[in-house]
Amino acid sequence: MVKVAVHGFINVDLVGLVDQFSEIDQEMECSDLQVTPGGSAANVAVGLSRLGEEVYFLGAIGEDSYTTFLLESFEKVKLDYIQTVQGKTSGTVMVLVNNAGLRTMYTYPGANSDYNPDLVPEKFNESIGLLHLSSPLLSLAPTFFQWKERCPRLRISFDPSTLLTKRGLTYLLPFLSKTDILFVNRSELNDLFPDHDIDYSIKALHDLGINQIFVKLGSKGALSSFITAGSQNQLVLPSLKVNSIDSTGAGDAFAVGALFGIIREWPQEAILRTAIKLGACAVSQTGARKGLPYSL
């Protein structure tokens, strides 16, 4: 079995359901309010663990009323290298979801910003086969990407999110050049290559050394581009028709499906189908993890 490590945020998500988003200086009543565990990286860790993978989470929480709640939310994820930061509040995200399933989010990083990867033993770094980085802080990202220099067989999966892609291609080049598996949506791809079409953008990313690229296309499905025997291959599959309630965590669920298939060395079409299926499961539930399955 491949040992998996996941780094990124663990948050408390405050999810409010509204009929529509309010305008400036207007007040809108929430029809429902839920407090759920979240954070893109934590969602992926829990999702892979539910499917039976050995997963370690590398991240930080604060000392507050949510500490126990967040730790227990990891279920079977291994927490050997999670860090508790004294005097800091845990990461918090305020999410509003309208009746069309669209969302707006406001993030407070909190203790996430204080994770120290230098406290992770080098022996552990050398033992993992896959490292998934989900929107890592730019101050911490270089350290994690350096792990690949010490252990070339390590595969790095990278989901930068809009927070990082908005900085542009030049800023992310040092990270992309060490990435094996990349997850982006169409908007994030456009951030990196604003003046080029999707085919040019994907080829340019492959030229950096990225072996597999997933592009999430929303209602149009998803695209997977991968290198086999030195040749670029591309696969596009449609989305599944579901009753969309909340898009929070859909991209994380997609990554869970894709990474699970990659770990198990499934055929490419099966990998992409599973990723799309899990993304669809996520949007049919409120909150980031309710739709994550325990079996496929």
Report the percentage of the chain scoring pLDDT > 90: 76
Is the confidence at residue 42, as pLDDT, over 80? yes
pLDDT at 182: 98
- Contact between 230 and 207 under an 8 Å Cβ cutoff? The reply is no
Residue 296 placed within a domain:
no
Residue 42's Cα: distance from chain center in Å?
8
β-bridge mates for residue 212, sequence order: 181, 226
Is the confidence at residue 146, as pLDDT, over 70? yes
Is the confidence at residue 282, as pLDDT, over 90? no
Domain containing 202 equals 3-283
pLDDT at 246: 64
Is the confidence at residue 269, as pLDDT, over 80? yes
How sure is the predictor about 192, in pLDDT bands with cuts at 50, 70 and 90? Answer: very high
How sure is the predictor about 100, in pLDDT bands with cuts at 50, 70 and 90? Answer: confident
Mean pLDDT score of the chain, rounded to an integer?
A: 93
Q: What is the CATH number of the domain that holds 105?
A: 3.40.1190.20
CA distance 158 to 117: 17
Is the confidence at residue 256, as pLDDT, over 90? yes
CA distance 35 to 280: 22
Residue 191 placed within a domain:
yes
pLDDT at 241: 83
Residue 234 placed within a domain:
yes
Residue 275 placed within a domain:
yes
Q: From edge to edge, which strands make up the β-sheet containing 3-7?
A: 54-58, 3-7, 130-134, 155-159, 181-185, 212-216, 222-228, 231-237
How sure is the predictor about 236, in pLDDT bands with cuts at 50, 70 and 90? Answer: very high
Residue 163 placed within a domain:
yes
The number of domains in the chain is 1
What is each CA distance from 21 to 9, 34, 47, 162, 291, in whole angstroms? 26, 17, 30, 21, 24
pLDDT at 49: 98
Whole-prediction pTM value?
0.92
pLDDT at 73: 96
CA distance 131 to 194: 28
Residue 151 placed within a domain:
yes
| DSSP state at residue 66 | T
Residue 76 placed within a domain:
yes
CA distance 21 to 104: 8
For the chain, helix, strand, coil in percent to 5 are: 35, 25, 40
Is the confidence at residue 89, as pLDDT, over 70? yes
What is the torsional sign of CA 189, 195, 198, 202? negative
Residue 57 placed within a domain:
yes
